Structure 1
Amino acid sequence: MSAEADRKGGSPMNPRDRHDWRLFRGDGVPRRVEMPPAPPWRRFDGGDQEAPGGEQAPSASGPAGPAPYLISPEHADVVNAALHLRRPLLVTGSPGTGKSSLAQAVAHEMGLGEVLRWPVNSRSTVQDALYRYDAIGRLRETALTRDRGEAEPDIGSFVRLGPLGTALVPNERPRVLLVDELDKGDVDLPNDLLTVFEEGEFEIPELARLPEDQSVVEVLTARAGERATVRRGRLVCEEFPVVVITSNGERDFPPAFLRRCVRLELPTPDEGRLRAIVTAHLGDDALEEVDQLLDAFLRRRAARELATDQLLNAVFLRAGGMDVTADGLLEAVLHRLGGAV
């Protein structure tokens, strides 16, 4: 079957067999184009998917599930220390060392369900991560129900727990919380987290002020369709969550915060580990395409910051028939991460 026939609805072809990989030609001629299979880490099927930046293979659609997270026994022992101590795990390392995907690996291996994610930025606050109260929405709904002669809406429908608040909901099994790139937050954010991490509880003042006959309130959580019970405005965890905090080393954290964390520094993958990562994500056949690209990647990484997923992108394109080493294309894929673009 020709490439054109495949684009018009024929059976799917392996990217390796597709000679005409140019979906967009820039000639202004409209044509029907069938998109080829996406990289495993860019497939959106409604399940938990991991970006390729880490060393964990993407979730598979088959019964085997995701491939093992590639981590040394020494580093796995550090993770276990944090689990036993019920302390947050502070994970640092260069881009592409598997910091964020470690939380997914722990949740998958321990059967702890969906990872709660808190991506931190300069505007992030502990308050927002704990809960949000929609006072304006409640006021509007209350006015509408009064006009219709109906009962006022329950306040719990206007309180939604954030990822940190949801992680502290009482549960027999701990939840997994990923606090991603904490160093991008405000300088006071780590200290603001100390009280919550130490006490394992927090107060919702809007609910604490309610009369005694309304002391038990069902609120929304960060998980769709899930509700949590809050008594007298306080939520106290039963099992401290598995907290994985990532940092790119852009800022130092205060000693009081560091003292309460177990620290894990993930090393930059060497050539052997990079080959293992490529195999885990793209299979053994991908190694046939990796030698030249791996050499180029290692040379460029020695002079500037690169991430492992950039190598994976290059290998995937090469396997699909692209001449990734062509002028401009290799630079577009293996571009530097730091400095002006």
Structure 2
Amino acid sequence: MTDWQIFRGTNEPHDGIARLPPPQQWRAFDGSPPVTAKLPTWSPVDVVRASFYQADPQVLDLVNAALYLRRPLLVTGKPGVGKSTLALAVAHELGLGPVLRWPITSRTTLKDGLYTYDAIRRLHDVSTAKEQDEAETDIGRYITLGPLGTALLPRERPRVLLIDEIDKSDIDLPNDLLNVFEEGEFTIPELERAARGDQSSAHVSTADRGADDVVVGDGSVRCRAFPFIVLTSNQEREFPPAFLRRCVPLQIWPPGREELMRIVQARLDPDISAEATDLVVEFLRRRDASDLATDHLLNALYLTFHAARGGGDREQLAQRLLSHLPTSATGT
């Protein structure tokens, strides 16, 4: 660890984000008034995953570069190397609240990440009102901010947003994100139209489950602290140069033997590391010829050592698991 690092990779929560220096002038944002709504609590599973993350020096340097520069971090690597877990580790260590998740498919659009407008529900409410004056006029109740829209709310400290598997997106999505990444803001046309009438602000719900509504004024959302955005890619496609220029690139390589042993010790049991050596070596040999992920090894170790205690054939079970377990979707 060096003095300039905000994220240290220690897995111990701290207030280091308060030491983050002001951004460069062209990356400073002035969203106001600040949102003070309380953040939701972490899920116990995410806390465990964040606490076990093992960061190497290259990861630490580039995560901190993205924090300083207020730029998205584009993380590439094979499935199972810990790309999405990195977002959890940063959010947990720096006390930035639960990670906002935006999983990407070939049908995902920019608007999906920013907000949704339930026009059908509003039409139903208006049509079933006994009198026109009774019809719901607060359009905000029909709008829900998406993960990206929630991350851009004007909070004093950045939120962490995971845009998972951006390489699966439609070809236009990376370019569509450029303006949002540059300006740190977006507009909601439905609220803009209401603002031209007699509703200058609206209470809308967010992507944080169970959290209080937030106020959006004049139909515009603009951040104060640019969110820490982690975009993951399994390298299934190339991205436009303009998109790449706006990201800090990070390539995560599959862990070697020493790193794997540290992961095994952290996630399972320090006392079994010596016994696990043979299985780690076998895993590395097989990984070179296939797409085995670290999850394969952890699953095999967990089950085979329990099988050994129960009198099972540990070696035979390990061979089967390393051959047939699918790559875990949670280890990207």
TM-score (norm 2): 0.79
Q: Percent identity?
A: 53
SS in 1 for 2:54: coil
Q: How many Å apart are 1:197 and its aligned residue?
A: 0.6
**Cα separation, partners in 2 of 1:90 and 1:239, compared to 1, 3 Å:** same
**Alignment counterpart, residue 223 of structure 1, candidates 181, 198, 208:** 208
2:286 corresponding residue in structure 1 = 300
Q: Distance in 1 between matches of 2:169 and 2:272?
A: 38
Moved over 6 A (4+): none
User: 1 or 2, which has the higher helix percentage?
Assistant: 2
Gaps of at least 5 residues in structure 1 are 1-44, 51-57, 61-65
3-state SS in 2 of match to 1:249: coil
Alignment partner of 2:165 out of 161, 181, 198: 181
Is the contact between residue 191 and residue 219 of structure 2 (CA under 8 Å) also seen in structure 1?
yes
Structure 2 match to 1:167: 151
Deviation at 1:175, TM superposition (A): 0.6
Find out whether 1:323 has 2:313 as its counterpart. Answer: yes
Contact 1:99 1:266 in 2 (8 A): yes
Q: Which sections of structure 2, spanning at least 5 residues, go unmatched?
A: 1-40, 328-332
| Paired residues for 1:98-137 under 5 Å | 98-137=82-121
Give the Cα–Cα distance (whole angstroms) in 2 for the partners of residues 189 and 151 of structure 1: 37
8 Å CA contact 1:304–1:336 kept in 2: the answer is no
Kindly provide the amino acid, as one letter, of the partner of residue 94 in structure 1.
K
Aligned equivalents of 1:136, 1:219: Cα separation in 2: 17
How far the C-alpha of 1:333 sits from its partner, in A, is: 4.3
**Residues paired across the two proteins, number:** 281
Asked whether 1:249 is paired with 2:242, we answer: no
What is the rounded CA distance, in whole Å, between the counterparts of 2:133 and 2:191 in structure 1? 25
Q: How does 1:14-163 map to 2 (within 5 A)?
A: 47-50=43-46, 59=48, 67=51, 69-146=53-130, 150-152=134-136, 154-163=138-147
1:313 counterpart = 2:299: yes
* Contact 2:257–2:281 (Cα < 8 Å) also in 1: no
CA–CA distance in structure 2, aligned partners of residues 246 and 189 of structure 1: 14
1:14 match = none
Name the counterpart of 2:266: 280
Aligned residue in 2 for 1:258? 244
